[in-house]
Amino acid sequence: MKTNLENMENKTEQAIPTREEMMESLKKVIEISELRLRIQEINMFMATYRANELEAFTKIEHFTKKPGQGTDEEIIEHTVTQTDIDNNPELGKQGIKVGQKIGIPRSAIVDSDTPEVKEKDEEIKSTMKVVK
């Protein structure tokens, strides 16, 4: 039966690698590190490529869509009247004429049934004088 001292000597002899084994092990560690670095470089390249691709698609979409297209906002078609031009002189300055069809975003249309509009109408009516 082996003594504790003999067991320790065998473990010590097995635990100490030779110079060649150490060099081989270090070569494998270096090779693995180089592969990890290469994978990281490829991942960075792919992330940059995808970002550039997304930017290009966004620009293409921006330059190829028609005005009003692609927005979530609804556009209402309206035929311009003389009242519209009288109330909005900038329409005339832009060259818009009576009878011309224009698109108005739904958000630009004031809903006359809202409490704010009714309150403003009452305020205006209260300041008006009746002429007989």
Query: Could you state, in order of their start, the residue ranges of all structural domains in the chain?
Result: 4-64, 75-125
- Cβ–Cβ under 8 Å, residues 69 and 103: no
Average pLDDT over residues 28-54: 95
Local confidence band at 102 (pLDDT 50, 70, 90 cut-offs): confident
- Cβ–Cβ under 8 Å, residues 73 and 106: yes
pTM score of the predicted model? 0.37
- Cβ–Cβ under 8 Å, residues 75 and 104: yes
Q: What is the DSSP letter of 98?
A: T
Over the stretch 60-70, which tens digit does the pLDDT of each residue have? 887 777 665 55
* SS3 (DSSP) at 79: strand
